[in-house]
Amino acid sequence: MPKDSPHARIRRALTVHRLLVDPGGFGARTPLAAAHGTVALGAPASLPSVALGEVLGERRSRYRFGPLDRDRLSTLLGWALGPGRTTAAPNGPPRTLRLNPSAGGLDSLDVHLVVLRRIGDIAVGTYVFEPSAHVLHRTGTGPCVEALGSCLVQPQFAARASVFVVLAGRLDKTLVKYTERHYRTLHVDAGIAAQNLYLVSTALELAGCAVSGFYDDHIANLVGLPDDSVPLLAFALGGRGEVGEQR
């Protein structure tokens, strides 16, 4: 356990983060209104019986998106970012670890969704995914395509995708245990989560693409990140659309 206070470590990590942030962009020109409510996603369906080698070989970053249905969104979130095995803790209650591993088994990432097109009873707006209950907590409502587009280096992702997943690093949950060097490890945790999103979306025949070209302050404001959280990586998501660019 580091000897100095978590607050001091968070402050230093945020200083480093702000030095690396691109201050450009147009700003949040279309702010969203606050919203509340919970959407129960229902239990994730079983994954298709697809060989791992086939999924690895088929994985692509896809830039053409079709409609996304509610069941496959639920299944994707559950299998890529949901709860996994439960382990016994030596000095406390059992802990349930996520299917996306993280350093120290900590809940280092929050998962925010910008729903750009209505998906069943999931209205357009911003949400936070709660893995343990498999629900979405609504946080904002409004013209999400315009709002998200103003946060992106490539605003066409907002015009094409059905959902934009934002992975946010929780400094308050991780720097209690580790020094601010763990700021770097948070990016590794986000990369592992993105790989899970790639592989599960491929198995479900969905289109997805990792996105790092965003303006941190703008997207943090859009999804309502607290001051001790930082946006690390995003993932554009939709159904398989027409054949287009991929890599």
Contacts of 245 (CB under 8 A, 6+ apart): 62, 63, 64
145's tokens: 């395509």
How far, in Å, CA of 127 to CA of 137, rounded?
A: 5
| Range 39-50 average pLDDT | 92
Q: Which residues pair with 130 in a beta bridge?
A: 135
The predicted model gives 187-197 an average pLDDT of 94
Interacting residues of 26 by C-beta distance below 8 A, sequence separation 6+: 150, 218
Pairwise CA distance, residues 100 & 189, whole Å:
8
pLDDT beyond 90 at 113: yes
pLDDT bracket for residue 23 (50, 70, 90)? low
pLDDT tens, 116-167?
999 999 999 999 999 999 999 999 999 999 999 999 999 999 999 999 999 9
Q: Which amino acid is at 26?
A: F
Return the minimum-mean-pLDDT range out of 39-43, 51-55, 170-174, 220-224: 170-174
Per-residue pLDDT, averaged over 184-202, amounts to 93
d(CA 224, CA 217): 10
Identify the pLDDT of residue 30: 60
Q: Are 162 and 236 in contact (CB under 8 A)?
A: no
Q: Which residues pair with 109 in a beta bridge?
A: 169
Please say if the pLDDT value at position 25 is more than 70: no
Confidence of residue 65 (pLDDT cuts 50, 70, 90): very high
Structure tokens at 139: 């946080």
Burial class (CB in 10 A: 0-12, 13-18, 19+), 128: middle
Name the CA radius of gyration of the chain, rounded. Answer: 18
pTM of the model: 0.88
Region for 224 from its dihedrals, namely left if φ exceeds 0, alpha if ψ lies in -120 to 50, beta otherwise: left
- The answer to whether the beta carbons of residues 45 and 75 sit under 8 Å apart is yes
Nearest to 131 by CA among 187, 74, 188, 48: 74
One-letter amino acid for residue 235 of the chain: F
Instruction: Count other C-beta atoms under 10 Å from residue 134's C-beta.
Output: 17
Q: pLDDT tens digits, residue range 141-152? A: 999 999 999 999
Q: What is the dihedral of CA 62, 151, 232, 235, to 10 degrees?
A: -20
Percentage, residues of the chain above pLDDT 90: 60
pLDDT number for residue 211? 96
